[in-house]
Structure 1
Amino acid sequence: MKKIVSLVALVTLLMTSCQKTFIEILPVDTVTVDVLYKTDKDYQDAVVGIYGIYQDQYANMYYFGDIRGDDVWDELVKGTPGAVDNFTLSNDDALLINTWRNYYKAITRANTLLERIATADAAVITNKNRHIGEAEFLRALAYFDLVRIFGDVPLVTKSLSIDESYKTPREKVDKIYDEIIIKDLLDAEAKLPASYAGAEVGRATKGAARALLGKVYLTRKDFAKAEPKLQEVTTMGYSLLPNWTDLWDYTKNEHHAEYIFDIEYEQGLGGEGSIYTNRFTPKVTSMITFYGIAGSVDDQNTPHQVLFDLFDAKDKRKDLTASKGYTDATGKFIPLLVSSNNMSAYTRKYITRITTANDSPANWKVIRYADVLLMYAEALNENGKTATALPYLNQVRTRAGLDPLATGITQTALRDQIVLERRRELAFEGHRWFDLVRTGQAYTVMQKYGMKQHMTVFPVPLAQVQLVNNPTIFPQNPGYQ
């Protein structure tokens, strides 16, 4: 993936000659775009340009998936993280504006590629199907994230003129699922390879498309379709790593048996590393020195006490997921002091030695095999196949050092255990808030933290509402006017 990541900056520069605040508008009156689409490599580079947008966007995914939920909080209550945490985020916050723009940049790049490759000669564009599959996968991921964050959004599948962009309405979530997300993922599944080799490792695969489609079906409560799709993923050769902590050891290859799809980052390539190590480390000089972290740190993404309370003493995930200190070179545990200047707990999932600020090798795990096993168990259980579901949950528990749950468990009890296991296994990976919303638990769990009933989605950026200036086709989400 190093080759792919190193191309991102160049391709991004070439593809951003025209910027608009509403939806990215293709610069149809210039030759700049046309000259990019001649050879197979041109299309491959264009796909890399779509991946590049996700590097930027997923730097902030923890705001939506983690801080918004109950397992994580912004302990020091500062700026945007605090507003996301306590449900006071303004509809003109830069987080919302940048998120909207990033996803529509990715969508526009995908649309442009798909328009041009449709008539391309397959004899010349030798990887035509793969390029289409990757673009469709990435477009589907963009729309899936958009509807989970904002609800109804504009459905754009082709190049738009400036006038058309201002007349494009917000479409219902169900229409976006039916007409683009599911169709794109089904086609991507058919076109993508099962695996890659060498520098191509890290691109979207057939397994990634199937796993994401399974999550889409689960989100829509279409358990009848989720079950067979996720079952297919379990037959593709993926497996849990024997040692859970190896998932977070960045001296080892992140493309292992449990890997399905990450947002890829690479250390030492001039701005292609991730920000997670710096963002999530407490401002404690001795800790920063001990871990060898260059640059300033941000005290963000604090584990809440409710997360600590979820873990059994023998759970192998406990200390790395959430910690209130660190163990120094002599084996002595150094606790974090409760202070207004630094957070009192942190996750070690993204802690690794870095020599340049915000240049961490840590990827963001969009979907890994443990997630698939838990989703498959959930789908089976919701389809009344509780006994069949249990072994898939127990695979995750056993790897963590916990005793397997006994047979004879009820559907309701297993449902609760799956929720619990997702919290323990996937904390700080951007899942908890979206799990709360899709299972209908968000308001019940989060109202004591300031949530109101309409806050299952975020406000649409105010700038977009004002730009269209037509509430008939482009209203603000209810409650955020």
Structure 2
Amino acid sequence: MKTKYKILTFSFIFALALGLSSCSEDFLQTVPTDSVSTEIALGSTDNMMLAINGMHRTLYAQNPEIVRYYAGQQYVIPLAEFAAGDALHSSTGNGWFRSALQWNSFTDATNNDVTYPWWYYYNIIGSANNIINAAADLQPSDELNNVLGQAYTYRAWAHFNLVRFFAKAYMIGNPSTDPGVPIMLATEPPYEGLSRNTVQEVYDQIELDLTTAITYFEGATSRNDLSHLNIDVARGIAARVYLTTGDWANAASYANAAREDYPLMSESEYKSGFNSISNPEWMWGSKMIQDQTAYYWSYFYYTSNNFNGSQNRSNPKFMNHNLYNQMSETDYRRDLILADCPSTFDDWDAGENAGRYASEEEYDEAVAEYRVIVDNSSNHNMVPYQHIKLSQADGPTISPMDVLHMRAAEMYLIEAEALARQGSNTAAQDVLFDLVSARDAGYEKSTNTGQALVDEILLQRRFELFLEGHRWFDMLRNDEELDLEGSGANPDLYLDGFHQDKPSLNNMWMFRIPQRELDANPNMDQNPS
């Protein structure tokens, strides 16, 4: 992995430079960010925290060294949604994610959709490794514990994302022998290409890193804000990991502990756009700095109902009709899906009735009504079942909105599912009721047990976490086929993404190892086609 190690060296400089951009004017004047020595960068806890701040920034910052137009986790979140069939595209738009919808980007080793996640998460790992390995030279302190807790959490989180994208899912494979991804821990020569560790070895390292992180956080200073990681985030990531590996007892326990200090949001907060880190349910999010936005490469550009960009204007996103039709009429989450919204594509065309309206005047009235609801401009298209979950707070603008990475509702759902899979039906029903009754005034506590209860919880995950970056991974771990029949998706747009066999029968669910890695590393093997 000779090329990768060069990338990792750069990645730390990049992360540090991002962190330094928020430090004092005096420091910037005396130590230029493009010539920071290793001794200065890693020589104190304060400077290590600057590097941690830079890692936080990489979650939403563009990096022209690899793929200019991709901006960290802001690109990966929709990548984990748009090929999974719940959040659907209405048109080709301006081309963003079209190849992912059609299942021919992550199956192509030369495509940026595989190159970027591979580089991005190893970028995070490289920066974390530099901090972890240099910390041995510093005196222990509560502040250093905070830094190390965050670094170990980031390293675990990045390896977790890599092994889920680039290897066979844990529950449907043979983890002890299936090829995973290289575990990267070193920061010193020799810079030799590594072979792939097994899936089990990768998860063992992830669990070890999270256990270490939680230990450090127990003696750490408090985080500055929700952009930073803390013990709750580490526990939340651990809950995700244990849910993925089928360790139900740990999944339930960590999820319960993680959500303890985060109340569920109210109905008005739920309907406010999912755009502010001030939401009391958020456990981890990226606080956007107004003058450091990714503009047309942001999460909201790809997903929002009213961001003022060509992707949104030409290609409004809507919910799978089959999913919507399973939502209770008393569930207020249903209000964020506009089933009766007029289609500006084909409900009225050149004065001819091509849709649901008796006259052009009636159509115009409906469009005007829904413009107010969607809060978009006359240049935006609209479609039935369009979502209004992810909204610009100031109307159809390009203002940077905060980005969600973890919230308490997910922890309720992990806990409920893990309890149900252990056979603790009553406890699972209680946790599920606590969440769903807060969203649906008509919801009655479930009487389902066994697999029927698990299926109910999984359906509630789809309602609750729509467009938040979980659906791809849920389909992997539950071995679900992709079938868009009756979803409202256009088969001519989706092509191979309209139907795919379940992951246990279909290697296309595994991202291809990037060709750049294969070219640079003789020890790297490609995933099976």
Query: Is the TM-score greater than 0.5?
Result: yes
Cα contact 1:66–1:301 (8 A) shared by 2: no
Q: From 199, 217, 220, give the equivalent of 1:192.
A: 217
Superposition deviation, residue 352 in structure 1:
1.3
Superposition deviation, residue 310 in structure 1:
2.7
1:419 & 1:383 partners in 2: Cα distance? Answer: 15
**Is 1:270 paired with 2:283?**
no
1:382 & 1:85 partners in 2: Cα distance? Answer: 32
**Is 1:333 paired with 2:383?**
no
Secondary structure of 2:440's partner?
A: coil
**Is 1:449 paired with 2:498?**
yes
Superposition deviation, residue 205 in structure 1:
1.4
Q: From 172, 179, 182, give the equivalent of 1:154.
A: 182
**Is 1:215 paired with 2:240?**
yes
**Is 1:360 paired with 2:400?**
yes
Cα contact 1:49–1:109 (8 A) shared by 2: no
What is the CA RMSD across the aligned residues, in angstroms?
A: 3.4
Task: State the percentage of identical aligned residues.
Answer: 22
Cα contact 2:15–2:52 (8 A) shared by 1: no
Secondary structure of 2:387's partner?
A: coil
Question: Which shifted more, 306-315 or 152-161?
Answer: 306-315
Cα contact 1:65–1:430 (8 A) shared by 2: yes
Superposition deviation, residue 331 in structure 1:
8.7
1:476 & 1:400 partners in 2: Cα distance? Answer: 44
User: Equivalent residue for 1:4?
Assistant: none
Secondary structure of 1:127's partner?
A: helix
User: Equivalent residue for 2:110?
Assistant: 92
Q: From 49, 54, 59, give the equivalent of 2:59.
A: 54
User: Equivalent residue for 2:525?
Assistant: 475
Q: In the superposition, relative to structure 1, how do residues 450 and 295 fare at CA in structure 2: closer, same or farther (>3 Å)? A: closer
Superposition deviation, residue 281 in structure 1:
4.6
Secondary structure of 2:91's partner?
A: coil
**Is 1:120 paired with 2:122?**
no
Question: Which shifted more, 30-39 or 309-318?
Answer: 30-39
Offset from partner CA, 1:401-420 (integer Å, 9 cap, x none):
24334454221221111011
1:202 & 1:146 partners in 2: Cα distance? Answer: 22
Larger Rg, first or second structure (1 or 2): 2
Cα contact 1:378–1:389 (8 A) shared by 2: yes
Q: From 186, 191, 205, give the equivalent of 1:164.
A: 191
Superposition deviation, residue 300 in structure 1:
6.0
Secondary structure of 1:164's partner?
A: coil
**Is 1:438 paired with 2:477?**
yes
User: Equivalent residue for 1:132?
Assistant: 148
Alignment of 1:38-437 (within 5 A): 38-55=43-60, 56-77=71-92, 79=95, 81-89=97-105, 90-122=108-140, 127-151=143-167, 152-161=180-189, 164-165=191-192, 167-179=193-205, 181-192=206-217, 199-234=224-259, 236-243=260-267, 245-247=268-270, 249=272, 254-262=277-285, 264-271=286-293, 275-281=298-304, 293-298=307-312, 299=315, 301-321=317-337, 325=341, 332-334=369-371, 342=381, 344=383, 345-354=385-394, 358-364=398-404, 366-406=405-445, 408-437=447-476
Superposition deviation, residue 62 in structure 1:
3.2
Cα contact 1:390–1:405 (8 A) shared by 2: no
Question: Which shifted more, 205-214 or 80-89?
Answer: 80-89
Cα contact 2:318–2:387 (8 A) shared by 1: yes
Question: Which shifted more, 432-441 or 196-205?
Answer: 196-205
Cα contact 1:259–1:367 (8 A) shared by 2: yes
Q: In the superposition, relative to structure 1, how do residues 467 and 419 fare at CA in structure 2: closer, same or farther (>3 Å)? A: same
Superposition deviation, residue 51 in structure 1:
1.5
Q: In the superposition, relative to structure 1, how do residues 100 and 328 fare at CA in structure 2: closer, same or farther (>3 Å)? A: farther
1:252 & 1:465 partners in 2: Cα distance? Answer: 39
Offset from partner CA, 1:449-474 (integer Å, 9 cap, x none):
24251123211112211222x3xx31
Question: Which shifted more, 309-318 or 99-108?
Answer: 309-318
User: Equivalent residue for 1:12?
Assistant: 18
Cα contact 2:419–2:427 (8 A) shared by 1: yes
Cα contact 1:86–1:450 (8 A) shared by 2: no
2:316 & 2:282 partners in 1: Cα distance? Answer: 26
1:80 & 1:281 partners in 2: Cα distance? Answer: 14
Cα contact 1:258–1:368 (8 A) shared by 2: yes
Secondary structure of 1:260's partner?
A: strand
Cα contact 1:149–1:457 (8 A) shared by 2: yes
Q: In the superposition, relative to structure 1, how do residues 148 and 328 fare at CA in structure 2: closer, same or farther (>3 Å)? A: farther
TM-score computed with the length of structure 2 as normaliser: 0.73
Superposition deviation, residue 154 in structure 1:
1.4
Q: In the superposition, relative to structure 1, how do residues 51 and 454 fare at CA in structure 2: closer, same or farther (>3 Å)? A: same
Secondary structure of 2:283's partner?
A: strand
1:198 & 1:131 partners in 2: Cα distance? Answer: 10
Aligned residues, how many? Answer: 433
2:89 & 2:274 partners in 1: Cα distance? Answer: 29
Superposition deviation, residue 250 in structure 1:
6.0
In structure 1, the gaps of 5 or more residues are: 1-7, 16-29, 283-287
TM-score computed with the length of structure 1 as normaliser: 0.80
Cα contact 2:45–2:144 (8 A) shared by 1: yes
Q: In the superposition, relative to structure 1, how do residues 81 and 324 fare at CA in structure 2: closer, same or farther (>3 Å)? A: farther
